[in-house]
Amino acid sequence: MTAVYRREIGSYFKTPIGYVFIAVFLALSGALFAATTLFSMSADVTKYFSYIVFLYVLLIPLLTMKSFSEERKTRTEQLLLTAPISLFGMVMGKFLAALTLFAGCQLLASASFFILGIYADLKVAVIFGNILAALLVGIAFIAVGLCVSALTENQLAAAVATVGILLVFLLIGQLNQFINVRWIRFLFSCVSVWSRFQNFTQGVFDLAALFYYLSPPSSSSSPSVSTTVAGTTDGRRQ
């Protein structure tokens, strides 16, 4: 797993993807921070984190689109599968590499709020709650992106499909206001990312939401990705 992790981290910076992701993430995050706090003369951090989640929908697919798609296109996935590493270890190496780049950018961007806290009365619990919520959403989104990337060798198709799926997970809870069927409303609430995200943004530690983000089919969907990779590879061998 360590070898795959180092290889994947290095691959981000051998191509423009890593640099583009960092530059765009920090630029948009800085602009969003300025718009929601400095320009509006507000110390409400929840506005920033509520908007940043929607940026994840566009940015995280940049990290995940090539994870397995490129391996399938260049036929190097068979080399990885015959290497002395488990399939789960290979997937986790790729997952942790994407998570490292994402989390590093988000934590660096979040440092602005601690600087703001010197001049404004900010609740530490709310700041940490929002940062934790943002990281958890990112973890879940990365897992979804990896799963989609394992289904195709076209990076653009993987990115577009990931954006669509993430939008569904993020916005599906909003459909409840138009639906009167109780079991459908319950189902949409169960899979909604947004409803659970908002509990953390208010500084409330929600154990159920934590379990949701860290369990299948969100961030721990890595085993399912392993099954997908194995299945698609076996199919091509046949």
pLDDT for the residue 220: 40
- Give the 3-state secondary structure of 169-191: HHHHHHHHHHCCCHHHHHHHHHH
pLDDT in tens, 163-197: 999 998 888 877 767 777 777 777 777 777 777 77
Percentage, residues of the chain above pLDDT 90: 24
pLDDT tens readout for residues 81-111: 666 677 778 888 889 999 999 999 999 998 8
Beta-carbon contacts of 6 under 8 Å, excluding residues fewer than 6 positions away, are none
Q: Exposed, middle or buried by CB within 10 Å (0-12, 13-18, 19+), for 163?
A: middle
Nearest to 45 by CA among 101, 99, 121, 98: 121
Residue 129, token pair as written in the block: 């709650």
Among 51, 74, 43, 57, which Cα is nearest to 138's?
Answer: 57
Question: Average pLDDT for residues 103-131, to the nearest whole number?
Answer: 83
What does the buried/exposed string (b/e) look like for 72-101 if buried means 16 or more CB atoms within 10 Å of the residue's CB?
beeeebeebbeeebebebbbbbbbbbbbeb
Query: Could you report the per-residue pLDDT of 221-231, keeping only the tens digit for each?
Result: 444 455 555 55
pLDDT, averaged across the chain = 80
Domain ranges of the chain: 2-233
Q: Is the pLDDT at 63 greater than 60, yes or no?
A: yes
Neighbours of 195 (CB within 10 A): 17
- Mean pLDDT over 138-163 rounds to 90
Please determine, for residue 41, whether its predicted confidence score (pLDDT) is greater than 90. Answer: no
CA distance between the termini of the chain: 27
Please give the pLDDT value at position 78.
66
